[in-house]
Amino acid sequence: MDIARVDQIIDRYGADESYLIQVLLDIQTENNWLPQEALERVAERLRVPLSRILHIATFYKAFSTVPKGRHRIHVCMGTACHVRGAQRVLDAVQEATGIKPGETDLELKFSLETVNCLGCCALGPVMEIDGKTYGKMTPAETAEALRNHD
C-alpha cells in the first residue's frame, strides 16, 4: 500500500491518536490487510508505540496482518445453519477455492472464514461473499456464486 495513501487516511482524522482503530479500519477496508510499513507509519504519525498497535491489530478479528484475498467468504457454522447443512456449503467452498478456513489462496482471490451466526438463521445455511448475504444455499449454488467473482 502506498504510504501517501496511508498519510491521507491519517490526515482524515487529524493524526489524532484517539482515532487509531478508525485509521486501522480504513486501511484494512481499502487494502484488505495491514502491511507492516503502514502500521509503522501510523505508529510514527499518531505517536502510538508499534507494540500497542500490534496488540490491537492482532486482537480484533476485523484486522489482518497477513495478506487477504480480494473477496472475503464467510460461511456460517452456527447452530441453525449447522443443522441445515452448513458443512456441505463449507465443503463446496473448500472444493471450489482449494483453501481451508483461515486461509487465502495464492492468487489473493479468496479468503475463507467460518463464523458462528450471521443473525439471519431463517435463511440457513447462509454464507457471505464480501458482505453480501447468500441464503438457503445448496452446494451447487455455492459453487455458482463463487464462479461469479474474479
Partner 1 sequence: MSEVRLQIDGQEVTAPEGATVLEAAQGAGIPIPTLCHHEKLEPFGSCRLCTVEVERGGRKQHVVSCVYPVAEGLTVRTRTPEIERIRRVILELYLAHAPEAPRLKALAEEYGANKDRFDKESSFCIHCGLCVRYCAEVKKKHAVGFINRGTKKEVAFVPDIAARECWKCKECFPLCPTSWLQAAYVLVEGILFPREEQRA
What residue ranges bind partner 1 (CB under 8 A)?
A: 49-52, 54-55, 58-59
Task: Specify whether the CB–CB gap between 76 and 70 falls below 8 A.
Answer: no
145 touching ligand FES, by CB under 6 A: no
- Minimum distance from residue 36 beta carbon to partner 1 (Å): 10
Q: Which is nearer to partner 1, 51 or 148 (CB)?
A: 51
DSSP string, the chain: --HHHHHHHHHHTTT-GGGHHHHHHHHHHHHSS--HHHHHHHHHHHT--HHHHHHHHHHSTT--SS---SEEEEEE-SHHHHHTTHHHHHHHHHHHH---TT-B-TTS-EEEEEES--S-GGG-S-EEETTEEE-S--HHHHHHHHHT--
- Nine-digit cell string for 41: 507509519
Among 117, 133, 141, 144, contact with ligand FES (rule: CB under 6 A): 117
Q: Which residues on neighbouring strands pair with residue 128, listed in sequence order?
A: 74, 133
- Minimum distance from residue 37 beta carbon to partner 1 (Å): 12
Q: Which residue has its beta carbon closest to ligand FES?
A: 78
Within 75-114, which residues bind ligand FES (CB under 6 A)?
A: 76, 78-81
Among 1, 96, 121, 143, contact with ligand FES (rule: CB under 6 A): 121
Q: Which is nearer to ligand FES, 98 or 119 (CB)?
A: 119
Within 49-78, which residues bind ligand FES (CB under 6 A)?
A: 76, 78
25 touching ligand FES, by CB under 6 A: no
Site residues, ligand FES (CB under 6 A): 76, 78-81, 117-121, 124, 126
